[in-house]
Amino acid sequence: MRQPQAFLMDEPLSNLDAKLRVQMREEIINLHRRLETTFIYVTHDQVEAMTMGTRICVMKDGLIQQVDTPENIYNLPANQFVASFIGSPPMNFIPGKIVVRGGGLAFGTKRFALPIRKSLEAALDAGKFVDRSIVMGIRPEHVALYRDGAQGTPFTAKVRFSELVGADRYVHFGAGDYRFTMRIASYERVEDNSELEVVLHPEHMNFFHPDTGTAVR
């Protein structure tokens, strides 16, 4: 009986309905654990990649963009392509500048300024991004409604529309020239065209070079 060193699976679940796809993902995961052999799994479905993979290779136009764990692919993307490709809704991107504020660095736009965590200050300073343009990225779940006692710097944004998706509600905002999305619980109600105070969690900010899209860290 053959004992291959690796199995190649090229989109094996693409023609299955959603329910059967979930069942087959579990079967493949269990098979992988039982055989203790490398599985190379090709897919365009990010849910399959994130739930089944122990290491993920993201490719664009035949070029490898990042090889990493699912957690790092999601939280620490190597560039803007990876950040926008993984995640639904994708990461928000807001252009701004790195400014000196209160003895440290902050990310600033016309509407707000957010302190930057100390672990990133050295990379931004060494890369000569102070007083220069940069792109900040933040996931929708790290945008929140501002409430009494909440941490962060609030700013006003207008609700363009919202989407109810199961247990989640995706709220799409406009703030001047900026567009961004917030993920909240479905039971929280918001009205279209209303203005709300929101905060961005600065500890979850990613930064990208404005020209190359490469992550700065």
Q: Would you give per-residue pLDDT tens digits along the chain (217 residues)?
A: 578 899 999 999 999 999 999 999 999 999 999 999 999 999 999 999 999 999 999 999 999 999 999 999 999 999 999 999 999 999 999 999 999 888 889 998 888 888 888 888 888 877 788 889 999 999 999 999 998 666 778 889 999 999 999 999 999 999 888 899 999 999 998 999 999 999 999 889 999 999 999 999 8
Rounded Cα–Cα distance for residues 157 and 159 (Å): 7
Fold of the domain built from segment(s) 6-85: Rossmann fold (3.40.50)
Contact 215, 126 (CB under 8 A): no
Rounded Cα–Cα distance for residues 111 and 133 (Å): 15
Apex 133 CA angle, 212 and 111, nearest 5: 130
Q: Does domain 92-216 have CATH number 2.60.120.260?
A: no
Q: What is the largest CA-CA distance in the chain?
A: 68
* pTM for the model: 0.88
Task: Return residue ranges of the chain for CATH 2.40.50.140.
Answer: 92-216
SS3 129: coil
- For 156, counting Cβ atoms within 10 Å of its Cβ (0-12 exposed, 13-18 middle, 19+ buried), the class is middle
Task: Return residue ranges of the chain for CATH 3.40.50.300.
Answer: 6-85
Computed on alpha carbons and rounded to an integer, the radius of gyration of the chain in Å comes to 20
CA distances from 51 to 122, 124, 133 (A): 34, 33, 36
Rounded Cα–Cα distance for residues 122 and 118 (Å): 8
